Amino acid sequence: MGADLVSIANSGARAARTALDVTANNIANASSAGYIRRSVGLSELGANSVSSAPTAINLAGVRVSGVVRNADMFRQAEVRRTGSDAARAGAEVTGLENIEAALEQTGVYDSIVGFEGGLQQLLSDPVDGSLRASVVEQGRTLAQTFNVAAKSLDAVGEGLRFEALDGVDAVNRIAGELARVNLRLSRAADASSDQTALLDQRDNLLQELSGHVDLTTSFNADKTVAVIIGGPSGGALVSGGAAGTMAMTTAPGGTVAFTLDGNAVTIGGGAIAGKSLALTELAQDHIKLDAVASSLITTVNNAQAAGVDLAGNSGQPLFAGTGAADMAMVASGGGALATAPASAGAQSRNPANLVALRSALGTADPAGGMDALLFGVSSAVAGRSITRDALASISSSAQVALQAQAGVDLDQEAVNLVRYQQAYQASARIMQVASDIFDSVLAIR
Amino acid sequence: MSIVSTSTGAFFERARSDMKNLRTQAEGLQAQLSSGNKLDRSSDNPVAASRLRALDRLTSLSSIDAANAGRANSDLTLADAAMSDITDALVRAQELASQAATGTTTDEQRSSIATELDQIHGSLLSLANARDSDGHALFGGEGAGDAYQLDASGNAVYVGTPAAGELPLGEGQSVTRSMTGPEFLAFTDGSGNTTDLLATIKGLADALKGGATDPASAARDALGTLQTGLDTLTTGQTVVGTRLAWIELTTDRRSNLADLRSTEQADLGATDVTSTIARLQETLLVLEASQSSFGKLSDLSLFSMLH
């Protein structure tokens, strides 16, 4: 009987020490990313001996039934879903903001207004050399700002494609790691420390993956995970120990498409989707910028052809090129401006062709076209920013909700520390009592 | 966030994100104050930004309108002064013509009058060829050189273009920047012939030099013709005065519109300093409160109570 008491006290002390270990581990990992609070599952140890009757009271102490991981599958899925949306919106807004900066800060609009102003001023004296030179220089500035804007848009596109490709690489890396975690999970003992660590790793990887793409997960009985990307009917990225390979292709306009193991897949969420959306917008904006530049080139060159320059020769094109990227001022000097109508001679002060050019520019309205382009991009940024803020706040709520349930609360750990310390001390005391009882039995003479 | 947290990580995370938001807001307000602009980039308010672009464009084009109006104003003022000088010369020519028309004037006197009339003709020619602020012929329309040139027989012939150039004054208005010579020098004389003042004076001088059998009668005819010419000139000068007044009117209108534009620009894009400072104060107060309450709460740890 005394031996029973010692073994019960021993099991109690062992359980308390395990619980203290787990508490210490929780405290140590209070700020580890993705760490889920653990607790010790204890259950009574029932031991029937052959000699005792089935109804007899049998006391055998306590055993540690397992390390419990306080994870809520639903909240984790919510964090992944909302995080994926927030990442998509964030990446799209960042891309659009870069497009906006490329179009706005290069000052294309201002240089169009400057060119218009130069032409207007030339009306006051069409043969004035300095006014003519100023129009040509403003035209040169105009062509150069269009070049810079086109180059900046290209640079934004390059950056977005590079980041998208980096995202695809990250997806492939995470998929490989998930497949390895799946293999180890299927071999790990149930409810062991080893398994809980693997589960933490699995959930961390899933969350990281959800930042890049939208994913659908299903969990198997052995706690391995199957991941499908590109909507519920998309392709399988991870299935058991096998991982698929994602790849990116670039279309001529700079937009991107994705494949999984060679099959086309539509990515609807995550940063990769956001970058793809921004690239689509970028391609459209580039076309619009080219349209403004090309209409300006055509209008000015057509008007030039209808008049004669300062020397009385028929007007030559002012601008070369067909779009924003290759637009260039080709006039040799102010004299090349064809301000006078075709019938006029050299040094003519007749501004009829200049008036016609201004009226044609008024109809083509490059400033209005540029304003519409800027307005379109900036209102897209403004609208998407509101969506992004809403999605970020939803995602952050989901994360806090998960943290509140699965994270470590130091106050509670302090309570547990005291509780299991006392339990340990009590078990030790029981051992002493058992020893005292045994001694008193020995002392009988 | 309405979630009551029990996790230490969640508490720190929430406090961090709340304080970061407040800090971002405060920095945004500070940036508005220091830049004086409500809009940092178009996407802050796309509609207002588009309107501001249009207003900036109008302001920049309007300043060129103002420069053009100034040029037209100086050209017309120069034209007005030249026309006044022509009037003075004509008045002198009229005096000389009435002297020559008197029967008592001798042929020698008529001859010297003719010499003076030749001088007047010369000065009228140079006045008609006066230059504008750009150095072009003031009364030559859009011609490249002089307005009048002497032909082989010494007659002044108009060589400019038929109409004077127009300058836009903005808001779709424009003004003719000067007059062509024929517009105020040419007229129809008493016998229904089209002539001009230069030809009249040259004709009179030639007649007085012996070209006419009855110089006194020729001088009397010329007196009537000169009066008609003077009337035409005065009409021309009135037109110039009206154009100057028109420029003044459009200049007033332009400055009124510029005032309206700058008011709208300030409403749309400029920082409202008072309310921004008040909001900044409020944000800073909340930020300070949340920082100090965070300090107090994070100090509360059960571990510090355990000994």
Q: What is the ipTM of this complex?
A: 0.80
Would you place residue A16 in the very low, low, confident or very high pLDDT band (cuts 50, 70, 90)?
A: very high
- Under 8 Å CB pairs connecting chains A and B tally to 145
Selecting from B47, B142, B303 the residue whose C-beta is nearest the C-beta of A350 gives B142
**In the prediction, which pLDDT does A312 show?**
86
Selecting from A30, A404, A414 the residue whose C-beta is nearest the C-beta of B306 gives A414
What is the radius of gyration, based on Cα positions, of chain A? 38
**Cβ A408–B301 below 8 Å, yes or no?**
no
pTM value is 0.82
* Average pLDDT, consecutive stretches of 10 residues, N- to C-terminus, chain B (307 residues): 61 86 93 88 88 91 90 92 93 90 83 90 90 85 83 86 84 86 85 84 86 81 88 92 92 92 90 92 95 89 80
Owner of token pair 């057509």:
A302
> Distance (Å) from the C-alpha of residue A32 to the closest C-alpha of chain B?
9
Q: Which helix (H) or strand (E) holds A256?
A: strand A256-260
Compute the C-alpha angle A127/A131/A136, nearest 5°: 105
**Cβ A400–B71 below 8 Å, yes or no?**
no
Question: Could you tell me the end-to-end alpha-carbon distance of chain A, in angstroms, rounded to an integer?
Answer: 19
What is the per-residue pLDDT across B17-47, written as a single tens digit (0 to 9) for each? 889 999 999 999 999 999 988 888 888 889 9
Would you place residue A422 in the very low, low, confident or very high pLDDT band (cuts 50, 70, 90)?
A: very high
* Optimal mutation site among A378, A381, A393, A416, interface B, most CBs of chain B within 10 A: A378
* Optimal mutation site among B42, B76, B254, interface A, most CBs of chain A within 10 A: B42
* Optimal mutation site among B43, B51, B301, interface A, most CBs of chain A within 10 A: B43
Residue pair A116/B65 in contact (Cβ under 8 Å)? The answer is: no
Question: One-letter amino acid identity for A273?
Answer: A
Task: Name chain B contacts of A108, Cβ cutoff 8 Å.
Answer: none
Selecting from B12, B46, B136 the residue whose C-beta is nearest the C-beta of A379 gives B46
> Distance (Å) from the C-alpha of residue B51 to the closest C-alpha of chain A?
9
Provide the H-helix boundaries in A29-107. 73-104
Question: d(Cα A230, Cα A237) in Å, to the nearest integer?
Answer: 10
- How high is the mean pLDDT of chain A? 89
Asked whether the predicted pLDDT for residue A235 surpasses 90, the reply is no
Question: d(Cα B170, Cα B212) in Å, to the nearest integer?
Answer: 55
**Cβ B50–A374 below 8 Å, yes or no?**
yes
Question: d(Cα A264, Cα A279) in Å, to the nearest integer?
Answer: 18
Of A161-175, A303-317, A409-423, B143-157, the poorest mean pLDDT is in B143-157
